[in-house]
Amino acid sequence: MSGLIWFLLGLAAIGVCFYHRVALWMSTGIAGLALLGYTFTGAGGAAWLAFLWVVYAVLAVTLNAAPLRRMLVTDRLYDWFRRIMPGISDTEREALEAGSVWWDGELYTGRPDWDRLLSFPRPRLTEEEQAFLDGPVEELCRMLDDWDVTHKRKDLPPEVWNFIRESRMFGIIVPKEYGGLGFSNYAHSQIVMKISSRCGTAGVTVMVPNSLGPGELLKLYGTDAQKDYYLPRLAEGREIPCFGLTGPYAGSDAGAIPDTGVVCKGEHEGREVLGLRLNFEKRYITLGPVATLIGLAFQARDPDQLLGGDPELGPTLALIPADTPGVEQGHRHYPLEAAFQNGPLRGRDVFIPMEQVIGGQEYIGQGWKMLMNCLAAGRGISLPAQSNAAAKMATLTTGSYARVRKQFGLPVGAFEGVEEALARIGGETYLMDAARRLTLSGLDLGEHPAVISGMMKYHMTEAMRRVINDAMDVHGGKGICQGPNNYLGQVYNELPIAITVEGANILTRSMIIFGQGAIRCHPFLLKEMLAAGDDNADRGKADFDQALMQHAGFVIGNAVRAFWMGLTGARLIAAPTRGVTRQYYRQLTRISAAFCVTSDIALFMLGGDLKRREKLSGRFGDILSCMYLASAVLKRFQDDGRPPEDLALVRWACEELMFRIQERFRQIFRNFPGAVTGMLLHWLVFPWGAHYAPPSDVVGHRVAERVLGKGETRERLVEGIFRSSDPKDAVGRLEDALRKTLAAEPLETKLARGLERKIEPARVPEAVEEGLKAGVIDEDEARTLREAFEAVHGVISVDEFPQQKAAASRRGGGTRRTDSGSATRTRGTRSKSTARSGSRTSRSTRSGSSDSRTRKRGDTEETP
């Protein structure tokens, strides 16, 4: 019996070593001591003991003696690894090397350091930044009328364009020494979010110059001369920038840009200089129709070797003034009838001097790397800010609407079906803002987390889609009837735009998040790949040997950790907090270990083929992303001071994310290469079965309660968006109705009791008069009830337009109503009203640029 105990103790000791990732030499010594103790018991007989000692000696010497280990094991694996390693193109290599690894790398360790997460500073605004939000940004929001912008003008009014320029909103990221605002990433996000909550077109217009484009590229890579000239002009709005990357044949595969720039000599300002002759065709370029300064990505070539090197120079970025001969702009796209300026750019034989290359001649061929290092702004700041704006506004309006809209004598928010949607809206909004804040914390610390920015782009825009869909369902007919009083319809229409831009969501999920994250975040995989690709074979084998041994211990250690935490439910894991959230830290630690071992085995079995197994890759990416999102939720709760009233939101978000993680694991195991391996992994990760459950109805009910009506939690949920108090404004009218409804509810109860009957919402005016006559209520109470009824009636009403029966419609030409009820011809010859509208659109479009020069293709003349 004592021999069995020693044997089990030995196995346990080895397991503890792997669990805690004890150094190899120490683990070997501990295993030797355990075997020695087992030997002294005399259990098993001499032959069995001799076998164990031989196995131990072979493993101990082989693993600890590096020359022998390399000769027998790792050098052989090195050749195999080189064969199975997927080929990496130059563009993929530059993408992998771009940016930095931050909290995403910690999640890929199997034992995240939660104290490190909680130590990250909470993003805050400076006094100057807060004053800018309360001043110019607030004023801009009050100037905006989304219906007017989107459905009448198809553009921002000229005075809005001017205000944006004069307020230096195009220079949020431009350093102060160049005349810009020089604000933090957090302030940048808050500004874009607030403007977007009022008008999507204005949000995009402010967002783009401060995202991926000339400003960001010049700040990071521009020459001193380029910075000194262009950055002040961009900050002051004297230049309106755009960036041309996407074209008809280069969408998701942006590395396949067919646009060219050939090195040659040409005339510039009356003298012959060395430069590039460009030919390009771009589309979907935001601000393209009105831009005065075009950033352009193209393939640089030097067929005559004027630069003395390789004829194929590679992706390059340059600045092109829009009035350069050969540039064609002015035509527009209308992405789902959104009104922000977007259109194609073309160029034929456009000559630019070499000084227009961003960074100068030495940066020719480095364009892809430059772009990859700048993607964090669009993916990590701008699109999440827009997504949060939509979700917060949906939370505000849907909570209010579900409170004031009644059916069967009850607010619709009281019905469990609606309550379920409200819970998702509130939970997703809390989660989204938590992720936004954590990411901005990293960016303001100087990180450039490329993998996290991909997560944010995909998950924030998808969460926005879910929130808006739920909000539309709750609003019903109110949400589907377009008009000045519909605060959801245009956001709903434009949802696919955010899903599509900055890397289509399908591509981002299935190829980028895990494809890039597995290599960048893994502590050893990139080292192994670099060693395998080293031109110096001896150095490569030595580096590979060291990385592989660490990797092997990493895999076994995570397998032991995952299994042990699965057996114990992770109840023995240390956590940085007490209370309800402790369990979520523990479970995320367990999930991290399970994710690491499962992804390592998948990488080992599939090798380079995992690159093509996009369904598996997407599921692994979902798990990594959900761990990050749950981390953000816990971090936000801690940063906010752990308010008890927010705990329902934390529980909803964490339980929803862990359930999603569980389902992705199950899908991976079910479709793993090799059914037996999948079954074994399922048993390893979930030894007692899969027990994570989605948020309970009780938790959902508590979240819905916080979305409905007033309260501190609701205020924190919608913090940062523009909130009008004007009853003439659609959202202001809704908030006014909510305030009056809450004030009238006790009086409604009093009235119903006094009249001894249930009062239908439509019969409130009659009941008020009856109650007055009967002395149930007084005149002041009656006035409160009437005001509430009128306010709610105004809210639940939808826009309607008169039908104009034009003779043209009987001849086969259709008519289209405007907000005033007038009709314009949509087929055949344009009517005068359309021509006038088109002329106005053309003028307002041109007003967006800093000059009125004529473009080759000209502005569009027709209002679509």
pLDDT at 802 exceeding the cut of 50:
yes
Confidence bin at 680 (pLDDT 50/70/90): very high
Task: Report DSSP letters for 736-805, one per residue.
Answer: HHHHHHHHHHHHHHHHHHHHTS---GGGHHHHHHHHHHHTSS-HHHHHHHHHHHHHHHHHH-----PPP-
Q: What tens digit of pLDDT does each residue of 437-489 get?
A: 999 999 999 988 889 999 999 999 999 999 999 999 999 999 999 999 999 99
Instruction: State what percent of residues in the chain have pLDDT above 90.
Output: 64
For range 836-840, the mean pLDDT: 37
Comparing 158-167, 513-522, 550-559, 632-641, the range with the smallest average pLDDT is 513-522
The Cα-based distances of 324 to 92, 261, 293, 296 in angstroms read: 33, 15, 10, 13
Residue limits of CATH 1.20.140.10 in the chain: 98-503+696-723
Comparing 158-172, 245-259, 343-357, 614-628, the range with the smallest average pLDDT is 245-259
The token pair that represents 252 in the structure block: 């998701």
pLDDT at 295 exceeding the cut of 70:
yes
pLDDT at 810 exceeding the cut of 90:
no
What interhelical angle do 581-606 and 614-639 show, nearest 10? 160
pLDDT at 84 exceeding the cut of 70:
no
pLDDT at residue 95, rounded to an integer: 64
Q: What tens digit of pLDDT does each residue of 208-265 get?
A: 999 877 898 999 999 999 999 999 999 999 999 999 998 888 776 666 789 999 999 9
> How far separated are the first and last CA of the chain, in Å rounded?
87
CATH architecture designation of domain 98-503+696-723: Up-down Bundle (1.20)
Query: What count of other Cβ atoms lies within 10 Å of the Cβ of residue 103?
Result: 26
Closest CA to 399 of 706, 713, 733: 706
For residues 513 and 449, the answer to whether their CB atoms sit within 8 Å is: no
The residue behind tokens 């992705």 is 664
pLDDT at residue 87, rounded to an integer: 58
pLDDT at residue 141, rounded to an integer: 97
Q: Which helix (H) or strand (E) holds 347?
A: strand 342-353
Question: Any idea which residues carry the catalytic annotation?
Answer: 502
pLDDT at residue 409, rounded to an integer: 83
Closest CA to 123 of 198, 188, 197: 188
The token pair that represents 95 in the structure block: 């993408």
The residue behind tokens 């071992």 is 597
Give the mean pLDDT of the chain. Answer: 87
For range 814-818, the mean pLDDT: 39
Instruction: State what percent of residues in the chain have pLDDT above 70.
Output: 89
User: 3-class SS at 317?
Assistant: strand
pLDDT at residue 684, rounded to an integer: 94
Angle at 391 between CA 696 and CA 148, to 5 degrees: 150
For range 303-307, the mean pLDDT: 93
Comparing 245-249, 396-400, 447-451, 530-534, the range with the smallest average pLDDT is 530-534
pLDDT at 2 exceeding the cut of 80:
no
Closest CA to 491 of 197, 261, 713: 197
Confidence bin at 816 (pLDDT 50/70/90): very low
For residues 589 and 572, the answer to whether their CB atoms sit within 8 Å is: no
80 vs 670, residue with greater confidence? 670
19 vs 808, residue with greater confidence? 19
Q: What tens digit of pLDDT does each residue of 216-226 get?
A: 899 999 999 99
Q: What tens digit of pLDDT does each residue of 642-669 get?
A: 999 999 999 999 999 999 999 999 999 9
pLDDT at 804 exceeding the cut of 80:
no
Q: What tens digit of pLDDT does each residue of 683-717 get?
A: 999 999 999 999 999 999 999 999 997 889 999 99
pLDDT at 554 exceeding the cut of 70:
yes
pLDDT at residue 191, rounded to an integer: 98
The token pair that represents 554 in the structure block: 């990493």
> How far is Cα 763 from Cα 785, in angstroms, rounded to an integer?
12
For range 673-682, the mean pLDDT: 91
pLDDT at residue 837, rounded to an integer: 39
pLDDT at 842 exceeding the cut of 80:
no
> How far is Cα 851 from Cα 51, in angstroms, rounded to an integer?
87
